[in-house]
Amino acid sequence: MTTDVASTSNGAPAQAPGVFTPEGAIGKLVRVQAFQILLVLVVIFLIFSALAPTIFPQWSNLRLIIQNMSILAILGIGMTFVIVTSGIDLSIGSVLVFSGVVSAMAMRAVGGDGLPTAGLGILVAVGCGLAWGILNGVLVAKAKVPPLIVTLGTLGGALGLSQVLTGGVDIRDVPSILSDNIGYGNVPGTTLPLISLIAFVFLVAFGIILHRTRFGLYTFAVGSNEEAVRRVGVKVDRHLILVYSISGGLAGVAGILSLSQYGTTAIAGQSQTNLNVIAAVVIGGTSLFGGVGTIFGTVVGLFIPAVLQNGFVIVGVQPFWQQVAVGFVLIIAVYIDQRRRLAAARGTGVKRRFSLGNLVTRRK
Amino acid sequence: MSTGDVPVLQALGISRSFGHVRALDNVDFEVYPGEVVALIGDNGAGKSTLVKALSGSLALDSGKILYAGGEVTLSTPAQASALGIETVYQDLALAPHLNPVQNMFLGREVPKPGLQGKLGFLDNKAMRDRSRLAFDDLGATVRGLGDPVGSMSGGQRQAIAIARAVNWAKGVVFLDEPTAALGVVQTKNVLETIRRVRDKGVGVVFISHSMPHVMEVSDRIQVLRLGRSVAAYKASNTSMEELVGAMTGAIGGDK
> pLDDT (tens digit, 9 = 90+) per residue, B193-211?
889 889 989 999 999 888 8
Judged by DSSP in three states, A188 sits in coil
Residues A200, A207: contact at Cβ < 8 Å? no
Select the more confidently predicted residue: B182 or B22.
B22
Q: What is the mean pLDDT of residues A58-70?
A: 94
The answer to the question of residue B121 being in a domain is yes
Select the more confidently predicted residue: B77 or A59.
A59
Question: How many structural domains is chain B composed of?
Answer: 1
Tally the C-alpha atoms within 13 A of residue A144's C-alpha that lie toward its C-beta.
Answer: 4
The answer to the question of residue B247 being in a domain is no
The answer to the question of residue B117 being in a domain is yes
**In the predicted structure, residue A165 carries a pLDDT above the cut 60:** yes
The reported pLDDT for the residue numbered B38 is 92
Nearest CB to A227; choose among B93, B98, B102 = B93
Phi, psi of A302 (to 5 degrees): -80, -35
Give the Cα separation of A244 and A133 in Å (integer): 5
**Confidence bin at A362 (pLDDT 50/70/90):** very low
Among residues A160, A166, A164, the alpha carbon closest in space to that of A108 is found at A166
The answer to the question of residue B105 being in a domain is yes
Judged on CB neighbours under 10 Å (0-12, 13-18, 19+), A124 is buried
Note whether B141 contacts A: Cβ–Cβ < 8 A. no
Cβ neighbours of A9 (radius 10 Å)? 12
Give the Cα separation of B90 and B52 in Å (integer): 12
The reported pLDDT for the residue numbered A17 is 32
**Confidence bin at B180 (pLDDT 50/70/90):** confident
The answer to the question of residue B119 being in a domain is yes
For residue A291, list chain B residues with Cβ-Cβ distance below 8 A. Answer: 95-98
A52/chain B closest Cα distance in angstroms: 43
Q: Which domain holds residue B105?
A: 96-168
CATH topology of domain A35-337: ABC transporter involved in vitamin B12 uptake, BtuC (1.10.3470)
**In the predicted structure, residue B16 carries a pLDDT above the cut 60:** yes
Nearest CB to B95; choose among A12, A16, A229 = A229
Q: If you measure CA to CA, which chain A residue comes closest to B141?
A: A14
B174/chain A closest Cα distance in angstroms: 14
**In the predicted structure, residue A47 carries a pLDDT above the cut 80:** yes
Q: What is the mean pLDDT of residues A122-127?
A: 97
The answer to the question of residue B164 being in a domain is yes
Q: What is the DSSP letter of A270?
A: G
For residue A292, list chain B residues with Cβ-Cβ distance below 8 A. Answer: 97
Q: What percent of chain B has pLDDT over 90?
A: 35
Q: What is the mean pLDDT of residues A326-340?
A: 86
**Confidence bin at A95 (pLDDT 50/70/90):** very high
**In the predicted structure, residue B37 carries a pLDDT above the cut 90:** yes
Judged by DSSP in three states, A162 sits in helix
The answer to the question of residue B109 being in a domain is yes
Give the Cα separation of A221 and A201 in Å (integer): 25
Q: What is the mean pLDDT of chain A?
A: 86
Nearest CB to B151; choose among A11, A14, A227 = A14
pLDDT, tens only, B126-158:
999 999 988 887 777 777 888 899 888 888 888
DSSP output for chain B: --TTSS-SEEEEEEEEEETTEEEEEEEEEEE-TT-EEEEE-STTSSHHHHHHHHTTSS--SEEEEEETTEEE---SHHHHHHHTEEEE-TTTT--TTS-HHHHHTTTSPPBPSHHHHHTTBB-HHHHHHHHHHHHHHTT-----TTS-GGGS-HHHHHHHHHHHHHHH-SSEEEEESTTTT--HHHHHHHHHHHHHHHHTT-EEEEE-S-HHHHHHH-SEEEEEETTEEEEEEEGGG--HHHHHHHHHTSS----
Give the Cα separation of B105 and B93 in Å (integer): 13
**Confidence bin at A348 (pLDDT 50/70/90):** very low
Select the more confidently predicted residue: A116 or B246.
A116
Q: What is the mean pLDDT of residues A259-286?
A: 93
The reported pLDDT for the residue numbered A345 is 66
Q: What is the mean pLDDT of residues A54-83?
A: 96
**Confidence bin at A25 (pLDDT 50/70/90):** low
ipTM attached to this prediction = 0.85
Q: What is the mean pLDDT of residues A190-219?
A: 96
For residue A348, list chain B residues with Cβ-Cβ distance below 8 A. Answer: 96, 150-154, 157
Cα–Cα–Cα angle for A82, A88, A94, rounded to 5 degrees: 100
Note whether B180 contacts A: Cβ–Cβ < 8 A. no
**In the predicted structure, residue A353 carries a pLDDT above the cut 70:** no
Cβ-Cβ contacts under 8 Å for A358 (sequence gap 6 or more): A86, A288, A289
The answer to the question of residue B204 being in a domain is no
For residue B144, list chain A residues with Cβ-Cβ distance below 8 A. Answer: 10, 13-14
Contact (CB<8Å) B97/A10: no
Q: What is the mean pLDDT of residues A311-326?
A: 90
For residue B102, list chain A residues with Cβ-Cβ distance below 8 A. Answer: 217, 221
Select the more confidently predicted residue: B10 or B180.
B10
Note whether B98 contacts A: Cβ–Cβ < 8 A. yes
Residues A70, A61: contact at Cβ < 8 Å? no
The reported pLDDT for the residue numbered A207 is 97
Mutation to test the B interface, candidates A217, A236, A242, A340, most B Cβ within 10 Å: A217
A216/chain B closest Cα distance in angstroms: 9
**Confidence bin at A291 (pLDDT 50/70/90):** very high
The reported pLDDT for the residue numbered B242 is 83
**In the predicted structure, residue A156 carries a pLDDT above the cut 90:** yes
**Confidence bin at A349 (pLDDT 50/70/90):** very low
> Helix A59-84 vs helix A273-283: angle between axes, to the nearest 10 degrees?
90
The reported pLDDT for the residue numbered A35 is 84
Where do the structural domains in chain A lie, given as residue ranges? 35-337
Note whether B74 contacts A: Cβ–Cβ < 8 A. no
Note whether A21 contacts B: Cβ–Cβ < 8 A. no
Mutation to test the B interface, candidates A19, A232, A337, A341, most B Cβ within 10 Å: A232
